[in-house]
Chains A and B, each alone.
Chain A
C-alpha cells in the first residue's frame, strides 16, 4: 500500500502513430520496469495484430516506480488506452480510473479528430491534462504551430507543453517530472469498507480470469471474500498484484491504487465491467456509478469459405468473445454463402480486427458480408423490430416506417481538401453543424446517417484527403428515413448476402455499382446470366453476362487425356464451392470478390 500523496494515475491520449506506445516504452525503460533484455517495441501491445498495425486495442496498465527530483519515490500508474473511436468504451473505462492524462500530439501532424474526442472525454472526467509534443526531432516538426492549434481547437493552455522525442528519449524525463508536479494525487480512505471499480477483465492462460481494479476506498488483500455489487457474485481473492508490466504479486492494494486480482472466477462473462467490488462481510453502502454498456452498432455476416470450417468458426468466435464481450454473434444461413454467423461490432475497425484475428489466430478463411447498421423497423401493428440483417426485412406492406441511426462526426482536415470533404458529407446526406478553422486546418462537424458511413465513407475520406483527414464519431439519434431494401438478383434469383438497405435517393447508383461489379466477377457461362438490382418488384439496374463462346482444348492426344481428366476431377471438387442460381452455377469466389471490393 502506498501513501496517497505519492501516487499518480494517468492515461495517455494520442492519435494512431503519434507515438503513444513508444512513449510508454520509454517511460517503462526509465523507471526500470523491464530490463533491456525484456524490452521490445510496444511492450504493452501484447497482440501481434496490435504491434503490426501500430494500434492498441485492449487497454493495458503498468505501475512505474519513479524517483523524482524532490528525492521522493512515486508510484505512477499508466493506463495505456486505445486511440480509435471503435474502442471509445475502453478509453472511457481507463479515463475513469485516472486523475490526469498525457495528451500526446505529433508536432508535425497536429491534433486529429480522435484525439479531440478522447481529450474532451478526459476533461469531462475532470482530468488534469499534460500536453506533450512528440517527434520534435523530425524536420517537419512545427511545435509552435501545433501548440497554437491545441489552444485553439481544444481550448487548454499549451504554453508549458513538453517537447519530446519518444524515439530518441529526448525530454521524456521531463514528462515524468511533470506528472508528479501537475497531476493531483488520488483521494480515498483506507479505513473505510472496500470500494473498487472493475475496470476490465480478461482470461489469462496462466492466471485464469484476471480482474483489473481501481481502488477508491478500503484495502483489498489475498484471502478476502469479495462481492460484486451488480451481479451479486462472491469470490475469495487468491492473488493480488500489479503490472510492472510483468505481473508481480503484492500483499495488498489501497485507495488510489490500480492493480489486479484473481479470485477463482470461471468466466470473463461473470465480471461486469464498471461493477463495484466490495468486501462481502463489510460492504460499502453505495456502489460506484459504473459505465453504460457498449452496444454493437455495425453488423455483418461472417461465413467460412470452406463449409467444413463452420464448427471451427463457432468455437473461435466463442473463444474471442471470452476477452472481448463487446461483440456478439448468432447463427445465420445464406443461400449464396452457406452457414455462418451474424456478428455485431462496435465499429468498422473493430469488425476488421475481429475478422483478422479469426483468420490469423484461428487459421480460418472467411467471407465478410457488407456491413450494415441496426435499423428500427416500425411495423403497422405498432411493434418495433431491431433489424441487424437486411435480408430479414419484413414484407414492405407490413412496414409503417424505418428509422436509422445517425452519428455526430467530427472531421479535421487541411484546408485544401475541405471542399471535397464537404461535398462527400453532402453526398452522404450529411447535415453540417459546425465549421471552424484553426491554422490551416478546418474542423467540420456533421450529422450523418451511420448507414452511409459504414458503406465506404472512411475509405473515401482517406483517399480524397490523401490520408490527411481524420475522423471520429459519436452515436447520435435514430431518425426516420426514406429507406428501401435493394435486392440483387442473379439469373432472377435473389442473392441474400448482397442485399442491402439504402436511402431511396442513393439506391439506384449503389444498385448499379454492384451489378457492374458482379458482371466483371462472374465468369461467362454456357447460358447468359441477367444480373439485376431491384426494389421489391421494380428493377432499378440491370446487366447481362453474355454466354460463353469458346472454351475448348485444341489438342487432345495421349498424355493430354490424362491431364484433361485430372482437370475434370478437380472441377468436380470445385463444385462444392459453387452456388446454384436456377440453371447457372456461380462460383462462391465471385460473391466473395463482390463483397471485398470497395466502391471507387
Chain B
C-alpha cells in the first residue's frame, strides 16, 4: 500500500460532558470527578504508543492537523492540551500551516478558558452553538442560551484566527421561513466556516425513544429536501458554499483535518472510542480504542496503549470507505489521487453498467478530473452508494 502523502493527522477524543444531549449518540459520558493529571498521562502514553509504530512515520512525516473532539473538549485541562501538542511536536515534524481545532461549548464558563486553549496552541475553535433560538436550545437539551452563545462567539472571534460553529436544523415543526431567518442570522455571524446538520434520530438516544413512542414531528422527506436545498442556496450566496454535505466554508478555509480524512488520509485516534486509519505494508489498517473511559484509562496505565485489536481492511472495504467519504465532498474524488491510494483507476474499480446508470440519471459526474456527485446525487448519497457498489 502506498501512502498518499507525507502527512498525518491526530484526533484526540475527550469523552466527558456536563450533561448528555438527547440527540447525541457519540461516545460521551457524564462523570462526577475527573482525575485530570491521570488523563493527561494516559493520553500522552497513548500518543507515544502511536509514535513507535512504523506506519505513523515519526520523525519523517509532517503532522498536518490535530482535532480535539468529544464529548466536550472545552472541559479538558488546558495544560493537557498544551502537553499533547508539545508531545506531538516531539514525535512528528510540524507542518507550518498546522490546523489545531478544539470543539467548545458556548457557555460562559468555557468561554473563559478559550484564551488558555489558544495559549496551549489551538488555532481554530469549533463552537457547538446548535441554535440561535432559546426554545430550540431547550428542546435540544443544551446548557447554554442563545445570548450566551453569541457572547462566547464574540470572545472566540477575538482570540482565534479561525472559527467555526455548528447548527442543527430540521427540528420538529421547523418551517422554511423559520430556518431562513435563523440561517441568515448565522451567516451574518459566521467568519469562515459553518457546519449545518439536519437533525438525525440515532438509535439508543432519548430522541429515538420519544420519536418511536410519541413522534417528534420531524420534517418529512420532502420538507427536509426543501430545507437542505435552501441551505445550499443561501450559504453559496453568502460566500460560504458547501464543500461537504453539511460543511460550508469560505474557499480556502475548509476544515483541513476532516477534509484529509474524507479524502482517505492517514490519521491517528487517541482517547476512548477514537478511530484511526493507517496505511500499512499490505493493507489499510483500522485502529480503534476501547470506548468505556474507565476501561480505556485502566488499559493505558497497565499496557501502555488504549487500543483494541486492529483490523486490516480488504481492498473492497478500502474502496467503499473512499467512495462513501469522497463522494460527500463537492469536489468529489480526484482521479490521480484515487489511483495513488488504491493502485487502480476509477474506471477499473467501478462497475461500468452501474456507473453509467447513475451518470445518465444525473446523480454522478465521471470525467478526467475524477468522480463526483451532482447536487441531486449528494442529496441521495446513501442510495447512490448502494446503487454504485452495494
Query: Which of A's residues lie within 8 Å of B, judged by CB?
Result: 524-527, 548-559, 561-562, 564-565, 567-569, 571-572, 574-575, 583
Contact = CB atoms under 8 A, between A and B. Distances in A.
A574 B387 CA distance: 12
B152 interface: no
B248 interface: no
A5 to B, nearest CB: 72
A386 to B, nearest CB: 42
A567 B357 CA distance: 22
A593 to B, nearest CB: 20
A562 B378 contact: no
B317 interface: yes
B269 A548 contact: no
Contacts, number: 97
Nearest to B198: A554
B258 A525 contact: no
26 contacts: A526-B358, A526-B387, A548-B380, A549-B221, A549-B222, A549-B224, A549-B379, A550-B221, A550-B228, A552-B379, A553-B381, A554-B198, A554-B199, A555-B197, A557-B258, A558-B274, A558-B275, A559-B275, A561-B325, A564-B324, A565-B320, A568-B385, A568-B386, A568-B389, A571-B390, A575-B390
Nearest to A524: B221
B361 A562 contact: no
A557 B261 contact: yes
A526 B360 CA distance: 12
Nearest to A573: B390
Interface residues of B, number: 45
A550 B269 contact: no
B245 interface: yes
Contact of B325 (A525, A552, A556, A559): A556
Contact of A551 (B275, B288, B317, B382): B382
A173 to B, nearest CB: 57
Given A549-B225, A556-B324, A527 B361 contact: yes
A565 B381 CA distance: 13
A553 B288 CA distance: 22
A554 B11 contact: no
A554 B390 contact: no
Contacts of A567: 382
Interface in B272-321: 273-275, 286, 288, 317, 320-321
Contacts of B378: 552
Contacts of A574: 390
B377 to A, nearest CB: 9
B390 A572 contact: yes
Contacts of B200: 553-555
B328 interface: yes
Interface in B339-390: 357-358, 361, 363, 378-387, 389-390
Contacts of B273: 559
Contacts of B321: 561, 565
A550 B246 contact: no
B170 to A, nearest CB: 8
A557 B274 CA distance: 11
Interface of B: 11, 27, 69, 197-200, 221-222, 224-225, 228, 245-246, 258, 261-262, 269, 273-275, 286, 288, 317, 320-321, 324-325, 328, 357-358, 361, 363, 378-387, 389-390
A555 B324 CA distance: 12
A548 B221 contact: yes
A559 B25 CA distance: 11
A562 B286 contact: yes
B23 to A, nearest CB: 11
Contacts of B198: 554
Nearest to B267: A558
B380 A549 contact: yes
A551 B246 contact: no
Contacts of A527: 361
B86 to A, nearest CB: 24
A552 B324 CA distance: 11
**Most chain B CB within a 10 A radius of its CB, from A526, A550, A553, A562:** A550
A561 B261 CA distance: 10
3 closest Cβ contacts across the A-B interface?
A: A571-B390, A549-B225, A550-B225
B320 A569 contact: yes
**Most chain A CB within a 10 A radius of its CB, from B11, B262, B363, B382:** B382
A526 B390 CA distance: 14
Contacts of A552: 245, 378-382
Nearest to A585: B387
B285 to A, nearest CB: 13
**Most chain B CB within a 10 A radius of its CB, from A526, A558, A574, A583:** A558
Given A561-B325, A569-B317, 8 more contacts: A550-B225, A551-B380, A551-B383, A553-B245, A558-B274, A568-B320, A571-B390, A575-B390
